[in-house]
């Protein structure tokens, strides 16, 4: 789209590759460049993928004069195509459909179609189609299973069952891999980190205080795209685990959590193999964090640290993600009696409503109905475990 930069963005490349379907007469190259530069990396990747999908569908469909600006009827057909799926493609979930439409709307605005006329994505038939698909599927967006600490948050509570942070920590040995995994698990829970914040943590972001506790400076996050920064409190236990990992790995600067390459020599005359560990220089990826988490869950089960119903190991592992630490800490803080506003502030949620959504099952046991009717009809309200 622009001619003064040698490396156009992924969004510009997709638009340029489908120039016949995109009306750019009202577009300002400078506005497009500025809009793309303002996007967070994850947002840019999502919009690129969504735009590529829509334009490819329009190209394969006849007749479609232009994809942008789109006709509401075109968007309705596109939504039905996404939701239906095929033999090789599963039908998209309502949350995915909403995101695809939001990306299309944003591209329309960037290209100058957000003036006086309403966007095609705002047409009644498009909104009604989304509502109809959502009602038909009746599917609540899947929430990552929580990873709670594993201890009662208040007197009289029973500790949570299943996979817990304490069980995962107990599965970590004293070797270099165990030290890294324990530090990662402990930090992720204490600070309620998003996976991008976890893999983005560097040594210089860590500081320790006289009482043994520490702080993690979070320079960028999902809700802080301008980089104003935030501080997260870390327990003394987490600081001990971080210190052990950094000392053993020799990491003095750069990313805190990295891949560990394991090299094994051929067996010697006695059949022994020499195992060497090499610490990488680049940070762990999102996929790497999930792989570590799932491996630790299975090891905790094998060691008898976690009791699951027979055959539930696979479902349990699949239900966990890097976001599970954040969900688990949110639920633990609710169980301890903290309010939504305080939790949202501590975990950098965009609003207390978001925090409450992640603790819905715990909060319902202590809501107004539970407190009042519990006194009158028995089963009095208790702070949920």
- What are the pLDDT digits (tens) for 326-353? 999 999 998 888 888 888 888 887 777 7
pLDDT in the model for residue 226: 55
Among the listed residues 163, 149, 144, the one whose alpha carbon sits nearest the alpha carbon of residue 327: 144
Q: Looking at the structure, tell me whether residues 131 and 179 fall in a common domain.
A: no
Does residue 305 lie within any of the structural domains? yes
pLDDT at 224 over 70: no
Does residue 146 lie within any of the structural domains? no
Does residue 151 lie within any of the structural domains? no
Q: Looking at the structure, tell me whether residues 198 and 296 fall in a common domain.
A: yes
Does residue 375 lie within any of the structural domains? no
Average pLDDT, the chain: 84
Q: Looking at the structure, tell me whether residues 238 and 360 fall in a common domain.
A: yes
Q: Is the dihedral of CA 106, 108, 111, 112 positive or negative?
A: negative
Q: What's the whole-number mean pLDDT along residues 352-357?
A: 76
User: What confidence tier does 268 reach under pLDDT thresholds 50, 70, 90?
Assistant: confident
Q: Looking at the structure, tell me whether residues 131 and 171 fall in a common domain.
A: no
Q: Looking at the structure, tell me whether residues 133 and 172 fall in a common domain.
A: no
Does residue 153 lie within any of the structural domains? no
Q: What is the DSSP letter of 26?
A: T
Q: Looking at the structure, tell me whether residues 209 and 351 fall in a common domain.
A: yes
Give the residue numbers spanning the domain of 89.
10-137
Where a domain ends, among 137, 155, 181?
137
Does residue 52 lie within any of the structural domains? yes
Q: Looking at the structure, tell me whether residues 59 and 189 fall in a common domain.
A: no
CATH number at residue 195: 1.10.443.10
pLDDT at 131 over 50: yes
Q: Is the dihedral of CA 147, 144, 203, 223 positive or negative?
A: negative
Q: Looking at the structure, tell me whether residues 62 and 108 fall in a common domain.
A: yes
Q: Looking at the structure, tell me whether residues 317 and 186 fall in a common domain.
A: yes
pLDDT in the model for residue 384: 42
Q: Looking at the structure, tell me whether residues 213 and 332 fall in a common domain.
A: yes
In this structure, of 59-68, 320-329, 353-362, the range with the lowest mean pLDDT score is: 353-362
Please tell me whether the peptide bond between 63 and the residue prior to it is cis, using omega within 30 degrees of 0.
yes
Alpha-carbon distance 330 to 356, whole Å? Answer: 8
Does residue 237 lie within any of the structural domains? yes
Q: Looking at the structure, tell me whether residues 179 and 131 fall in a common domain.
A: no
Does residue 43 lie within any of the structural domains? yes
CATH number at residue 61: 1.10.150.130
Among the listed residues 256, 293, 341, the one whose alpha carbon sits nearest the alpha carbon of residue 146: 293
Q: Looking at the structure, tell me whether residues 213 and 355 fall in a common domain.
A: yes
Number of domains the chain is built from: 2
């Amino acid at each position: 789209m622009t001619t003064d930069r040698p490396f156009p963005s992924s969004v510009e490349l997709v638009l340029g590759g489908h120039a016949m379907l995109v009306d750019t007469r009202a577009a300002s190259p400078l506005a497009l460049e500025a809009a793309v530069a303002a996007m967070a990396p994850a947002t840019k990747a999502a919009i690129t993928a969504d735009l590529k999908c829509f334009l490819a569908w329009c190209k394969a469909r006849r007749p479609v004069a232009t994809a942008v600006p789109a006709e509401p009827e075109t968007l309705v057909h596109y939504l039905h195509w996404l939701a239906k799926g095929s033999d090789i493609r599963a039908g998209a979930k309502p949350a995915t459909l909403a995101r695809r439409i939001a990306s299309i709307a944003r591209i329309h605005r960037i290209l100058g179609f957000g003036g006086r006329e309403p966007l095609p994505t705002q047409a009644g038939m498009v909104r009604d189609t989304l509502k109809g698909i959502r009602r038909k599927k009746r599917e609540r967006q899947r929430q990552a299973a929580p990873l709670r600490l594993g201890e009662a948050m208040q007197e009289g509570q029973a500790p949570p069952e299943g996979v817990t942070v304490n069980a995962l920590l107990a599965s970590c040995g004293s070797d270099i891999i165990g030290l890294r995994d324990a530090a990662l698990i402990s930090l992720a829970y204490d600070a309620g980190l998003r996976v991008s914040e976890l893999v983005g943590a560097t040594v210089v972001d860590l500081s320790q205080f006289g009482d043994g506790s520490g702080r993690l400076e979070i320079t960028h996050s999902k809700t802080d795209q301008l980089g104003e920064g935030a501080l997260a409190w870390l327990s003394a236990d987490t600081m001990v685990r971080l210190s052990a990992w950094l000392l053993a790995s020799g990491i003095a600067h750069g990313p805190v959590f990295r891949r560990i390459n394991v090299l094994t020599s051929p067996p010697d005359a006695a059949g022994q193999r020499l195992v060497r560990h090499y610490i990488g220089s680049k940070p762990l990826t999102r996929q790497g964090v999930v792989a570590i988490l799932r491996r630790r869950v299975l090891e905790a089960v094998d060691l008898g640290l976690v009791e699951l119903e027979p055959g539930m190991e696979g479902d349990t592992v699949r239900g966990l993600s890097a976001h599970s630490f954040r969900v688990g800490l949110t639920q633990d803080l609710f169980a301890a009696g903290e309010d939504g506003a305080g939790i949202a502030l501590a975990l950098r949620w965009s609003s207390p409503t978001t925090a409450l959504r992640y603790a819905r099952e715990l909060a319902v046991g202590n809501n107004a109905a539970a407190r009042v009717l519990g006194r009158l009809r028995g089963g009095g309200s208790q702070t949920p475990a």
